[in-house]
Structure 1
C-alpha cells in the first residue's frame, strides 16, 4: 500500500508534469441559473452570496491580472513555476458563449498556464460550449478538466436542497465532456441532511462506472442568511457527527475505483457568518484522522470496488 491510502492530486500532478503545479483561482462576474429565475430562485439552500469563490480576488479584476497576481503570490510562497487556471466561483459556463470564450483565451495565452479547470453545473454544459473550448485549446498541451457540482446521486436529496438538477443531467454532462477527451471532476458533499451511508457508497459506484477522473469532497458548512442557516438555527437540521463523517469518507474511498484522483478530502468555509463548519476542527486534522484510520485498518481506495464489469458473471470465470 502506498504512503497515502488514496490517490492524491498533488502526487498525480507531480507524476504528470514532473514538477509542482498549483491552481490559480479566477473569479468571474457570473451568476447561476438556480439564482436568477431561469431554473429557480435563491440557489441551493446552503449557498451564500459569494458561492465557492470566497478566497478569490474581486471579480471586477480581469482574468490576466488575476492570474498574474495569484501567480506572483503562489510562485513566491510555494516555489511553483507552472499553473492551472481555475475558474472557480459560481457557474462559469453560464455566460454568453463569446464571453466564456474570451475568458478562456485570456487564460491560455499565459505561457505558464499548463491546464484549465472550469467549475460549472451539470445543467450548464452543452455541445456548443464544449466545442468552443475544444477549438480554443486544440494544438496546445493543456490539461483540461470540467468541475461538475453533483453533491449527491440521491435525487430526492437534490430536490430537498433546491439543487435545480437531478442525477440525469450530471450523467449527460459527463458523457458530453468525455466525448471531447476533457477530464471530469465531480464535487460531492457526503453529509447532506437526508443522505445515509448507502447514498455515499452509491456516489462512489456511479462515479466509478462513469469513469470520472477526479473527485472533490466537501463537508457541509452552514452560513448565516441562507435557507439552510435559518433551518439550522430553528433546530430543523441535524448534522452527523465527525466520527460518522470520517466513516462515510472511508466507505466512499473504499468503493471508489482506484484510478480516480482525489483532489480534496475536506474543504474550508468562509470565516464570516459561518454557523457550522467541520465540527470546529481544522480541516487538516480531519484529513489526518481519515488517513490514520484507513491505515490502521489496512484499508485503501478501491479495496471494495468489485461491482463493475458483470460481477455476477465471475462465477463462470472462476473468480468467485
Structure 2
C-alpha cells in the first residue's frame, strides 16, 4: 500500500516531506496563446479550451508576475498562515514566448524570497533545449525547485487528434526525455473521461506515465464550456459522456496500475463558474473525492496494486523464481 497508510500518494503530504512544512501554489496568469490557436499548428485550440486558457481561477492577466504573486501571498497568509510558496505559471502555454520574455517571467518569480519552487505549465511540443537552459540557469542561480507540467490529456493518439491537441504521443515522450536529462520533475495532466477513450486507454495512461518515470499526475474531469467546439458538439448531442460512477471507477483503475511512487496532485478538476454546460455531473469535487476514497477502502485497493507490468513481466510470469 502507499506510504503513510494512504490509499494513494497525496500531494500535500509529499510537499511537507519535501519542504518541511505546508507549501501553497500561487497561480500566475499571463496573457498568452498556444501554437494551435494562433495558426502555427492550427486555429481554435483544443476543442474543450475556452478563451481563458484555464486561467479562470486566477488574478487578471494584466497584472505583473510580481503583483500577482504578492496579492496571492497576502491571501494565503491571512487564510492559512502560509509562508512558503510555489509560483505556478498556469494559463495557456508558458514556454510559448520569446526566450527573453520567458526568462524574465521565471527570474521575476525566483526573485521572491519565500518562493521555494516554480511550476511551469506548457505543451509537450513547446519544450526545447534553449528553454530548458533558461530553467537550468535559474535553478543554479537561485537554488530553487523547478518542475514542468505537461498537458497530455490522453495517450490515445486518435483521441488527441479528435480534441485538436496539435501534437501526438511522440512529442510528449520527446519532451519527457529532454526534461528528465535536466533532472526537473514532471507533472502530467490527464482527462480520464474524454468521450472517445475507454478503460483500456485509462490503463495505458497509467502504464506509460509509470514507464516514463513521471513524478506527478494531475487528473481533470472533463468540463464543457458554452461556445467551445466541444460545447457545440455537446449541445447537438454528438458526444456521450460516461456516468459519475463510471468516472470514479476509471480513477480507481488508473490508480491501481500507476507506480505507487507517483504523486497525485489532483483527482478531480473544476470548471469556470459561468457558461459551463457540464462539470462534474453537477456534484461538488470534494464529494467525488470522498466517494472515491470510500470505495478504495471498501474494496481494499490502492495505488500501485496492479503495478507489475514493467521489468520483463513476461519473464517473471514464465519463471517466477528468476531474478529480473
Q: TM-score range by the shorter chain?
A: over 0.9
> Is the 8 Å Cα contact of residues 116 and 144 (structure 1) preserved in structure 2?
yes
Query: Which residue number corresponds to residue 106 of structure 1?
Result: 108
Shift of 1:143: 1.6
Matches within 5 A, 1:48-63: 48-63=50-65
Query: Which residue number corresponds to residue 301 of structure 1?
Result: 303
RMSD: 1.1
Query: Which residue number corresponds to residue 43 of structure 2?
Result: 41
Instruction: Give CA deviations for 1:39-81 in whole Å, capped at 9, x if unaligned.
Output: 0000010000001110111111110111000000012111210
* Counterpart-to-counterpart distance in 1, 2:74 and 2:142: 23
* Counterpart-to-counterpart distance in 2, 1:249 and 1:319: 33
Q: Work out the number of aligned pairs and report it.
A: 320
> Is the 8 Å Cα contact of residues 4 and 291 (structure 1) preserved in structure 2?
no
Match of 1:278 among 277, 280, 299: 280
Q: Secondary structure at the match of 1:138?
A: helix
Could you list the structure 1 runs, at least 4 aligned residues long, displaced by more than 4 angstroms after superposition: none
Shift of 1:91: 0.1
* Counterpart-to-counterpart distance in 1, 2:52 and 2:77: 26
Q: Secondary structure at the match of 2:56?
A: coil
Shift of 1:319: 6.3
Instruction: Give CA deviations for 1:246-279 in whole Å, capped at 9, x if unaligned.
Output: 0000000000000000000001110110000000
* Counterpart-to-counterpart distance in 2, 1:7 and 1:249: 13
* Structure 1 unaligned blocks of 5 or more: none
Shift of 1:140: 2.9
Match of 2:181 among 175, 179, 182: 179
> Is the 8 Å Cα contact of residues 135 and 146 (structure 2) preserved in structure 1?
no
* Counterpart-to-counterpart distance in 2, 1:231 and 1:318: 53
Query: Which residue number corresponds to residue 316 of structure 1?
Result: 319
Instruction: Give the TM-score, by structure 1 length.
Output: 0.98
Which segment drifts farther, 24-33 or 134-143?
134-143
* Counterpart-to-counterpart distance in 2, 1:132 and 1:119: 15
Aligned: 1:201 with 2:203: yes
> Is the 8 Å Cα contact of residues 188 and 215 (structure 1) preserved in structure 2?
yes
Matches within 5 A, 1:1-320: 1=1, 2-314=4-316, 315-316=318-319, 318=321
* Structure 2 unaligned blocks of 5 or more: none
Instruction: Give CA deviations for 1:150-183 in whole Å, capped at 9, x if unaligned.
Output: 0000000000111110000000000011110000
